[in-house]
Each structure stands twice: as C-alpha cells, then as structure tokens.
Structure 1
Amino acid sequence: MAHREFSRGVRRAVDSLGNLPRSQCERTIRIARRSFHGSASRCVSTTTVRSAEFTSDTQEKFTAAPPIDFGKASGGKGGGKRLLQTLRVVPASPSYFSAKPTFTDDYISLTALLRRVATLPIIPTSEAPKVAWKTIDQYRIMTNEPVKTQRFHKMLHVLRRLNCIHPTLMPPEVMQAMQRYKKDVQPGDIKPAPGVIDEWGRAKGVGRRKTSSAVAWLVEGEGEALINGKSLAQFFGRLHDRESAVWALKATHRLDKYNVFGLVTGGGVTGQAEALTLAVAKALLVHEPALKPALRRGESVTANLLPFHPPSRLVSFPSEPHVRRPCFICSCRLTRGGGRIVVTSPA
C-alpha cells in the first residue's frame, strides 16, 4: 500500500516539474526520497515515458530467398510459366537508368571500338582525312538530350583518334560508326568549278577582304596593270599597297609575263589592295596550276639584289638587251643593257 502511494506521489511530482525551475525540481526530488523509508534508493527519470523504451533491441534473423532450381521449376505442370513470372527483365541498354542513355550508349560503344582497334597503325593528325563533325547543337537535336559540352568533347576526342587510323587499314565497322557523327556535307564534297581561259586568253579571279571585293583578269603581256582604269601607281599611292596588289606575280617572278586588269569596290585602300592580291593569285593559278605551292609559301626568292634598288622594288626583265621601261610598282625607270641595270627616278 505504501509503495502505491509513493509511486502516485512521484508521478504527480514529475508532472509538476516541467513548470518549475531547476532548483525547485531538485528540492522536490530530495523530499520525495526522504518520505519513503525502508525502500532502496534508485534514480528517478524526469522525462516522459516513451514507447520505444519497451521494445526489444534484438533483430529478427534475416532469411534470404532460396536459389532458383531451374531444373525443378521447368519440370512439372505449369513450372515454366511460374518461372517466367518471377524473372526480371534486363534492360537492353547499360545506361537504362541514366538521365542521358543515348549519349552514354554512344560513348560506351565508341570507347569499346577504340579498344579493339587500338593496335592498328595511325597517321599524324595533320595527314588524317579532313572531317566535319557535327556540332553539339546538332547532336542535341539528333538525340533529344541536354548533353554537356565537356562530355561531348570527350566523345569528339575518341572520334578524332579513330579517324587517325591508316586509311588503307581502316576497318569497315569504324567507318560505319563514324558516319553517324559526321555532317551531311563534308569539306571534300564541294569542289569549286575549275577556272577556264576565255577566247581572249584571260583568266578571271575573285577576291575579298573585309568589306572590299576585287575582280582581276590576267592575260599574257609585258607587265602592265590597270586598276579601275588607272595605273597601279595612280590608284595606290602607297608602295606597300602596290606590292600587295601584285604580290602573287612578284613571289613567282611573273611581273613581266602577265598584264593585270582589276576592278575593286568597297572598303579602304589597304583592304582593296589585299582583296586584289587574292584575285590575282586565283587568276594566276588558272594559267599555271603548278604555282600553288609557291603561292602558299608566299616567299619571293630574289637573285642579284642591287644595293641602289631595294629588294621590295626588284622586278624581272626580258631577255632582250637595251630594254627601257618603267617599273609599274615604284614607277622607276629601269634600263638594262651591256650587263648593267640603271635605275632612274621618275621625272
């Protein structure tokens, strides 16, 4: 009976401790302990009773599913149907649960293909066939996936490595795999129409530089130049612009072999001169296609440099002696004869 009264008193004291300060709480607990004589001392919790304290901590024993006995399951009446109901369908794509399955599949297939052909001989990147790969925007539209730029560049790196395989040893499966990532139009598909020489012996060339455009006609002659109906020295006041306009002829030593007739429009003087450079070079290639390597180098190999005539003003001369004519680049009067070259300033 005393125990029941004590327990009731303790519970009432515990409920009232929530609103009391800490000093009063400790004082009430000491009074409750003194009121009960003859009982063993024990700790009293001031928190409310929780249901989790009454559950056991021991866990149940884990039992795995028994292994499937295919022989037993397939035998008997209806065993095969029950087995099919318990099987899990394996996704065809290894990236079925990925946010971008198409890109992941493409990258996995390309890397696996690269591992198979990694031992084949390769050629330098500069000698590999020129290929125009699809841009990241075109690939996103094709796959309908928001592919990141960094991941797309990793795939392009694998494609460029596959493209470096020696063309004579390129496997058909590699060519078929790379065709998916190529643009519809390749650099080698579009070939410009070959230039022709008309009935008057003229070859036409077109050049552009910034907002300037030029059209040049080249015909065999003595080295005359007319630009928009004016001589080269009258149209271009600066020596640098005159040299730029006929640089293709100067670099190939053809200044005295062709006449130039040009029409230039738009832009400034320097832009017109550089546009005319390209136009004259294209027209020259129609006459002599073998000069393309020399024009690509753009270097003029001059011989017999004269101290009184700068190398930038040197022109070639006909083989006849005692020839006197003006240099259409710098307007100097040059005379050749008796093994000497005399330069006379313009009057």
Structure 2
Amino acid sequence: MQGLLRTGLVILRRHALHPPRRALNTRPPFVPPAQQTSMGGGLWMSDLSGKSVEEELAELMEEEEEEEEDSDEEGEEVDEAGKKPPTSPSFYSGRAAYYDQLAQIESAVAHTRSALKMLQLLPLPSFARESLPVRPAIWKTAKEMGEDLKVTMTSSRYRNMTRLLGQLNEYLRISIAAGCDDLASRTRNLLNIFESSTKQANLTRGQRKTLFVDHLGRSYTFGKRKTSTARVWMVPVALPREAVDVIDLEKVNSLDEAAAVLTSHPDRFHEPQLVPKSTILINNIPIGEFFSVPADRERVVRPLKVAGLLAAYNIFALVRGGGTTGQSGALAHGIGKGLLVHNPDLATLLRRTKLLRRDPRMVERKKTGRAKARKGYTWVKR
C-alpha cells in the first residue's frame, strides 16, 4: 500500500509541477466498469491519454533520468522549482562574506585544536604556557578588515574576529615550540592575511636605536628639548705628538756642543703640550658666537665636564627649532648620548646625572579665556 501511495504521489507531483506535454485531440472511449483494470485490490482508471499507470510511471522515470543527466553535464544543481541553490549557506543573511570568513576561521581553530590534542599538546599547564616564545600579533583595523571583506565591520564583529584570531595565534605559538612545522606553516599563512602591514614598524616603535661609530671614528646622535632638535656628530681629538727630544750625552763631547744645540733649537726641550684643542661648531658657527648667554654655553659643555672629557672631542651639530634654551638643552642631550657611544663605561655616571634622559618639560598651552596658560586678564569691578 505504501508503494502504491508513493507512486501516486509521484504522479500527482509530476502533473502539478509540469503541465501535460501532449495535446488532447480525441475524446477517450468509454470503458465499462466491468472492463476496468484491477490493481492492488483497488480499481485504477487509465489516465486521459489512454495509457496505463505502468506506462505513465515508466515515462516519468525516463524523463527524470534525462533531466538528471542534463544537470550533471551542465555542472549546476537545480532544485524542483528550477532555481539554482545559493552558493553560500549564509546567502540569506545579508552579510554572507563576513559569516563565511568567520565560519572558515572557526573551522581552522577547531581543526588546529584537534590536531594539537592528538599530539598531546593540549591542554598545557600554566608553567609551560608561560615559557612559550612570544609572538605579538597586530591585526588589521576594523576599517581595513571591512574593506577586505566588503562588509560594515562593527565593533562586535571585529571583536569576534580578533578573538578567534587570538586563539589561532596561541595555537601557532604551541606548534612552533613543539616543532610541528607543517601545522605552524599553515596556521601562519592564515594569520598573515589578517595581520597589519605596519606590524614591524609598530613593534619597533619606542625601542632605542643601536648607536655605533663609523669607520672614521664618528658617532651620530639625536637630541631633543622642548621644540628644538639637534643632530650631533662627535670625533675624538688626536693627541699632539710629544715634541721632546732627550740629549744623548754619549754623543755630546763637551758643554760647548750642548750649548750650541740649545741655542739652535730652543723649542725642542720645552715641556710637551698634552692638553688637546677641540672645536664645537653649531650650524657651522663656533659655540661662543652662536650662544651669547653664558648659561646656554655651560649647559652645552656640562656632559663633557661631568665625564671629565672637556676637550677630548670635536663636535659638529645642526640645531633646528625653538629658542636658545631649547637648542642648548637639545645639544646637551645629543652630546650625552654621543659620549655613551664612545665610552660605554660612562653609562652609570651619565644616567645618574640624567644626561641621557630627554627633558619632558614643555611650555603649557594657552587656555581659552586666559592671557596665557594660567594668567588671567585684568579686571576691575568699579
């Protein structure tokens, strides 16, 4: 009975969805009830075309097979209503690109987690997790990620994406420490899609640059104070040769010869000039002419006095911005850093005297309704 009902439903569905393909040219002949075909204990009449049920079912099965072959050849699936199915399960959500990408990341997180569990790398104890190599991740901004996915990336969607990416980055740290190169490479390739292009610049921001001395013995440093900046080049001063000649008494036969030598070359026996001479040029101008205020000159040479190297270096500087106070402070900051390059042993001394620290004090900004930062306008009640 169920088989007959199923075949009947097939016929009804077929006739309901597809109109009859054959035109009715003649009226079928009248068949008496006694001559009707009995089938399955019930009376079944032939259809309007005069064909039996078996013939109709055979034709329907042949047509369905032909349509299935045609659809296979075209490579596209078509439902009963003749419509193509959507390409994405999230087609009707309105944000298919976002949810598809989210589903792919969730699938990657699940597969990576299962792989690490199979390798008995999860769960990790707290001490093992703390000893993992650090891999900082800087993701794209919500705007950049939204432009890539062509959707409006709200804060909640961006939070969901970064949360899954953070889990995947944690699994990458574990796989790298465990030596799973294949799993680590696949995970890294996926994370590189969502990492910011300015990652390296952001990671190196705030770090001190490595200072060095070039092949000519010069050091290049950069100093700041208020709105002034100073670029400083420092070169050690070459000590003068000792112009001392000792009289060889064995070669001098008499006092008259010694007196003749002293008379002909009186400068050969003076004490040597061991104090070197150095130059400090600021914008190609000597320090005495550039800074007319003595306090500014004292501020510039203070690092040299503290280190006891007052005339040991020739200094060439280019200063920009601000006034004389800011420029002298910036120059002192650059000289202090230059001394550290040439003499690393002075690090403790210069650090304790705060000569390596950029002075953060700045002029306070003017406020609205005030003459200056805090000064008020004169006001008389009467």
Q: TM-score, normalised by structure 1?
A: 0.46
Q: TM-score, normalised by structure 2?
A: 0.42
